Structure 1
Amino acid sequence: MSGNYGTQTADCSGRDVVIEGNSNSIVFKGNCGKITLAGGYNTIAVEAVDTLQVTGQTNEAYVKTVGTIQMAGATYSTVHWVGGAGADNDPTVSSTGDTNTVEKISQQDYEDEIAP
């Protein structure tokens, strides 16, 4: 996905997605394979994703269920997650860096964020 300043809802259906645009607001329905958030200043909401890879700057992601979070190359980005796909209900997190945040949020906080 590319482009700037857009708002959209997309059905993942197990697909991999690369976001290269800037200043977008995107809601992903269904289970995504891998989402790569490479652009800047984007906000995404995701129902489920196997791997969320953030490489861009100043992005924000709200994820209901996630298996792995990778922040290599990202700067000033935040991932908020509700539940993980692992046995302990936590995702695997790698390379958070000094300027990134990965935090667990409640189901209600997730719902409040994606509400129209």
Structure 2
Amino acid sequence: MGCRVFDRDGREVGHVHDLVFRRIPPRRDGDPPRFDLIGLECGKQAIGDRLGYVRGTMAGPWPLPGLFRWLARRSLVAEWSDVASIERPRIILRKRREELAHSIDFIP
């Protein structure tokens, strides 16, 4: 969290402001579920996504869903498999900025 992300051409994508996980169901009854890291959300705004306004089911109060979805259009998601290297505080990707999914379009 907070690391600066750069694409394969050295252009800055933004700061990591959220991690994207996929829930893996338990293998047996009584086992806890697992969560796999599948992406890094990069950009400036994250609070709306964390509160469930971007991909979740939050619907109100009235101005917030639209505002947070509009802000999320600028955030990008880099899939974990696209991370070429982590050199704290820098993360280098294998893709170009233009090849990354917008936060609002990313479906884990």
* Class of the TM-score when normalised by the shorter of the 2 chains: under 0.3
Larger RCO (alpha carbons 8 Å, 6+ apart): 2
What's the TM-score once normalised by structure 1's chain length? Answer: 0.22
Structure with greater Cα Rg: 2
What's the TM-score once normalised by structure 2's chain length? Answer: 0.23
Structure with the largest fraction of strand: 1
